Structure 1
């Protein structure tokens, strides 16, 4: 036996939705102002009157207003789709806006603010209508959401509020919170002013905040334009729907020690940062991004992106030059971060204090060289509401659902930041040099010698000498540990990526019913890969290994990458391969790690140039060895056909110096430390410098990185 029963919804769900849907009072105001935007308002006035006999919050706009039909079939119908048409969201008539509201529940935000709502509305050539809702009385009037819940609408044939105008007026009384602190007031002011994009000219939508009796709470807040004028760097960019990346880089230093301003424009492809490890591991093979540069496909559902970055240095020396340093620091505390706008309207809560949706602060800690945290930048990106359809706002209005499109937006935006930071590095160095003077801190060994000479001059060698020796020995031990652990960590990262791709391949083979022998071969490769990486994690004593065998071990770590990225590899590290084999002596695991990182760089940059230029020439890498019997020196050179080193010569091989998107700038640094630890050298030069001596093709016209070994 079965029977049917009606699903009932109790009326107190309205109170739950109003209270739980919106995070706090400021967001409730935000939702009401968004309704004014949807109504084609050009001006919105928000008034928080806490000193009146009846404290209130009011929102007045000059929008189109609502007809009687709109009131009863849209505003008073919770969850309506009135802002949608069969083909998507309806556009407004005057400003051609796409509505920001879409779920039909934002109006319940008024309950977050107070118990009683009064609404008055009038269209240009229509009557004025008004009604009042006491939420307690309305909800208690019926146990369930049904026809017993009635709201009386008054028709004013002679307008009382909009006598010579049109729009909508909302008044909320019986406020839940009448004890707004100075900080609450300032936060509301900052939010209201950020609803429309303060960084760009937009005459069609302006929001003002009035706080009778509390004007002093915001009177000292600085003007946004004045504060942004203090930024040392500005980066203005646009990514169109085809993935073309255009930007202007502006350096605006204080007048100090011949620092020169810079203004440059660029049009190029955008190199993408590597995918997040968790995202990489959880993604299906066919959805992994295997390209270096942004492609149009990756913008599907996101659309074009525009934005600006204003970057500041908060060092005491720079702030003194700018003047009013404390005001700037206080302003940055409230304004810094990366905001998101759609059709110039704020998407909350990106860019709020404490929000770090791009994880800039974590990245700065992990790779501190020339990176900006959220506290030193004021930035925004702007999206097209129509073309960013895959970015869905959460029901609680606190950001986007974290789907694949959101993750790609985050990756693209972070890639823009990396490009800006790469561009600014040389100017950052010039500021540091100007502040610290030309006498940059000398190397440790030079400092030790200087102390020794001073001690000798004052006849203090006996007292100071043993301490200096102890300090130097301790530093050498730290350097040894750091080098070993650093090389291991970078190769673990490579191992992770290769293991992920290996597992992908097994899954693919199983899905395609590939023969068992092929699957077994892939499994064997994974096991050999683990065996190859395992020695890198151990502390190893000095050993001897032929250069040919050393290179084979390194290439085994990258074996599947060459065909996957369509890279032509030439290995000339044996007598039969036109090179000259010789024995390499030292901690073999560290030397393998160093060479592996150099090969990894060559793979990236050879791919980079091929994708950037769209040329027919294959990405190519040559590894060659030779031995000089007279000097008793051998070399292993890794030569590519990438774009060549783009760093200043003095920065190459220094820690955290890199132009590789997503790179740490440590690979060459560790390689140099490894080679110095065995009395060898790391040499870096254009490929052309070695062509005559090593006799290789003109097609290898990128960079050459050389490991030089002593007998």
Structure 2
């Protein structure tokens, strides 16, 4: 008997957790684990007390005292078959009836005091050492006493269970106690819900728990926070906050409040001519009898080099908690609705694998999605309550939540860029050069031997030169990787245009031009990362070429092109790579098409002009009559920064890099900086600015 606990329970921490899980199965809301003098085996005591349902004399005698009964297993099967749960909406964690043998692992003596509501208190005390000299359990007599209640349970509860373990078998070290606290923290529910479960550990030496993370600490370590309500086809009262820790003094608090955001997704639909094409369709919850949805998300950054700035003393505890509890969960009338994929019913982890820089995974977010049963009758729960039936209503619900999460990811990406800039690995580049310069000054002042001084300076010169060479190689390699992503993106767009031309049975000239463009793309993008011959070209020609290559797409989206540059009599000549500049213009056109379609602007227009109004530059101006940029223009050319649903955030970044290769820049002028028609005042305005050839 005494070997059961030793063989069935892996270690002492697992033994305590098994007893805590028994309290969960008993519908306890609160559990206290009290550890006294655990480093002294003679006086050490472990007390585990809960406010759960407690046990009657019959349960203690015929189930708790009998090892390996199938009582819990039968109970679990019955609850699943009959679609019922406990009063706190729980299914039992345990089913083998062996968790209580954790007491054997912990100590030689156990005292059990338990009471069910409106019942007598049940008391028993067992010294497990008496089993050592007897062959059969039936040879050992255990006294079980019923007595009047003593009112000793948590918070004066009229029911519950207290287990007192004495004469411990092994001492509890500081490290073991800290591991137990981390495991207990992981059991605590991250959001208030009907089945919320709180476990509190108390030890004789509070110093042992110093620095360990609590759930309140975890909330404070969330750098990115958002709250919003989804109602019908809109996000209402979107409230995003970026709250950098005090030590991140290069970063500023930022919030983004938006009263309304219309929810849409790209879908394949048939047009009037029965042709299938991608179109924006509203995500409307009311069509499927899904009421309003309240969403709260807490986002984290677990980069080890960053966590030190948050003075996170228990990084392993933080990571363990998020690994166990991370994800976005649905709560219906405060009851957590599980899914077959648990915390990743939205497929966040797969999306992050494909785009790690700007997507969140389940271990980087704590999220709640709250709905009310009376308003969400369109969502049907599975018979085992492990999620929703995946019908059209569920798909629309999932689409809406994913749209909301992606909006949060876009905001988070803005602040993540600044974190990487100032506190990421690459942020140490310029400080290293500064340190070398500082070292030069100290050597100049303190080293009098000129021969030695010159030798040291020579070494520093070599270090600085090699460092700059290495960082240049890495930056070029990084550009190659980003460029390749966009090359594939560009080729995909050309192929799509080819398909459209073929469908429309258009002229062979257009097809030939598109095929030629496919052949020139790789050569064009290669010039970003390797030197090549540049030639002079006319701005008018390159704009006309770009428009020719996308004219079917513009026509399909019913967008009017205003070619004001054709009215100019001058020839506007610059030197560069014509294919790359054409790609830049097409990228900007592509963005304009997307946003004009998304915001459903009537009489959609894109305006093209050439100007010298930006001082020192000859510029191609591209403007649209949409709603303008949704994120700060100073951030819009950074990699992975986008507010476009499903976008990668690379198009304008590469456009900016291409302009730098041409000794120019991409500029976002104000409306009043240029002479533009009034209808473009609130739209997106972009200038590709080049140094003019003399």
Q: 562, 580, 590: which is aligned to 1:600?
A: 590
| Pairwise CA distance, 1:394 | 12
The residue that corresponds to 1:269 in the other structure is 261
2:408 is equivalent to residue 416 of structure 1: yes
Shift of the 299–467 alpha-carbon distance from structure 1 to 2, 3 Å rule, reads farther
Q: Tell whether the 8 Å contact from 2:185 to 2:214 is kept in structure 1 after alignment.
A: no
Secondary structure at the counterpart of residue 410 of structure 2: helix
Contact 1:127–1:156 at 8 Å: present in 2 too?
A: no
Residue pair 2:606, 2:624 contacting (<8 A) in 1 also: yes
Tell me, yes or no, if the aligned pair for 1:573 and 1:581 is still in contact at 8 Å.
no
SS in 1 for 2:682: coil
> Is the 1:627–1:635 Cα contact (8 Å) retained in structure 2?
yes
Q: Tell me what 2:686 maps to.
A: 705
SS in 1 for 2:559: strand
- Counterparts of 1:466 and 1:188, CA distance in 2: 52
Sort the Cα spacing of 1:30 and 1:358 in 2 relative to 1 into closer, same or farther, 3 A: farther
2:625 paired with 1:636: no
1:226/1:585 CA distance change after superposition, 3 Å = closer
Give 1:560 shift. Answer: 6.7
Measured in 1, the distance between the counterparts of 2:51 and 2:568 equals 81
User: Are 2:563 and 1:572 aligned?
Assistant: yes
Corresponding residue for residue 613 of structure 1: none
In the TM superposition, what whole-angstrom CA distance separates every residue of 1:250-308 from its partner, at most 9, and x where no partner exists?
A: 64663998987667755443889999xxxxxxxxx999995698977899699543233
Q: How many residues align?
A: 591
Match in the other structure for 1:327 = 313
Counterpart of 2:51?
A: 62
Pick closer, same or farther for the CA change 1:298–1:30 going to 2, 3 Å. farther
Inter-partner Cα distance in structure 2 for 1:216 and 1:466 = 51
Matched ranges for 1:654-665 at <5 A: none
Contact 2:237 2:260 in 1 (8 A): yes
Partner of 1:689: 673
Q: Which residue of 2 aligns with 1:489?
A: 485
> Gapped runs of 5+ residues in structure 2?
64-68, 125-141, 268-274, 445-452, 528-532
- Mark the CA change 1:493 to 1:261 in structure 2 (over 3 Å): closer, same or farther: closer
Q: Which of 225, 234, 240 is the matching residue for 1:235?
A: 225
Whether contact under 8 Å (1:579, 1:625) holds in the other structure is no
Distance change >3 Å, CA 43–CA 155, structure 1 → 2: farther
Cα separation, partners in 2 of 1:494 and 1:301, compared to 1, 3 Å = farther
* Pairing of 1:152-191 with structure 2 (within 5 A): 158=146, 167=159, 169=161, 185-191=177-183
2:77 partner SS: coil
1:639 deviation in Å? 0.8
Query: Residues 212-244 of structure 1: CA distance to partner in whole angstroms, max 9, x if unpaired?
Result: x99875455255546755x59462424445443
Partner residue of 2:602? Answer: 618
Q: Matched residues in 2 for 1:23 and 1:596: separation? A: 62
Q: CA deviation at 1:536?
A: 1.0
In structure 2, relative to structure 1, the CA distance for the partners of 1:329 and 1:568 (3 Å cut) is: same
Counterpart of 2:522?
537
Alpha-carbon shift at residue 533 of structure 1 (Å): 3.6
Match of 2:74 in 1: 77
Secondary structure (helix, strand or coil) at the match of 1:107 reads coil
2:468 and 2:53 map into 1 onto residues whose CA distance is: 77
SS in 1 for 2:326: strand
Question: 2 CA distance for matches of 1:524 and 1:129?
Answer: 92
C-alpha separation in 1, matches of 2:420 and 2:644: 18
User: Measured at CA, do residues 681 and 114 of structure 1 come closer, stay the same or move farther in structure 2, by a change above 3 Å?
Assistant: closer
Once the 2 structures are TM-superposed, how far is the Cα of residue 167 of structure 1 from its aligned partner? 4.7
Worse overlay, 68-77 or 531-540: 68-77
Query: Is residue 124 of structure 1 aligned with residue 112 of structure 2?
Result: no
- For residues 563-622 of structure 1, the C-alpha deviation after alignment (integer angstroms, 9 at most, x for no partner) is 77x4624152774x89988677532332222222222332344345x2xxxxx6337341
**1:197 and 1:344 in contact (8 A); partners too:** no
How far the C-alpha of 1:671 sits from its partner, in A, is: 2.4
1:221 is matched with: 212
Q: TM-score, normalised by structure 1?
A: 0.57
Closer, same or farther in 2 for the Cα pair 1:222/1:263, shift >3 Å?
same
Q: How does 1:381-400 map to 2 (within 5 A)?
A: 381-384=367-370
Once residues 246 and 123 of structure 1 are traced to their aligned partners in structure 2, the CA distance between those partners, rounded to angstroms, is: 47
**Partner SS state of residue 668, structure 2:** strand
Residues 573 and 582 of structure 1, relative CA distance in 2, 3 Å threshold: farther
5 Å matches for 1:273-672? 290=280, 304-309=294-299, 319=309, 325=311, 327=313, 332=318, 334-335=320-321, 339-340=326-327, 343=334, 357=349, 363=355, 366=357, 379-384=365-370, 412-413=404-405, 415-422=407-414, 486-496=482-492, 532-538=517-523, 539=526, 542=534, 550-551=542-543, 554-555=546-547, 562=554, 566=557, 568-572=559-563, 575=566, 586-607=576-597, 610=599, 617-618=601-602, 620-626=604-610, 635-645=619-629, 651=635, 653=637, 666-672=650-656
Whole-angstrom distance in 2 between the partners of 1:57 and 1:421: 47
- CA 1:473 to 1:64, structure 2 compared with 1: closer, same or farther past 3 Å? closer
C-alpha contact 1:621 1:638 (8 A) present in aligned 2: no
When normalised by structure 2's length, the TM-score is: 0.58
Q: From the superposition, tell whether residues 266 and 25 of structure 1 become closer, same or farther in structure 2 (CA, over 3 Å).
A: farther
> What is the aligned partner in structure 2 of residue 195 from structure 1?
187
Kindly report the root-mean-square deviation, in angstroms, between the aligned alpha carbons of the 2 structures.
7.1
Secondary structure in structure 1 of the residue aligned to 2:601: coil
Distance between the aligned counterparts of 2:521 and 2:279, measured in 1? 28
Contact 2:294 2:371 survives alignment (8 Å): no
**Residues 461-490 of structure 1, C-alpha deviations (whole Å, 9 max, x = no match):** xx9999999999999999888767644531
Change (3 A) 1:500 1:412: farther
Secondary structure in 2 matching 1:244: strand
The structure-2 alpha-carbon separation of the partners of 1:41 and 1:421, relative to structure 1 and needing over 3 Å to count, comes to same
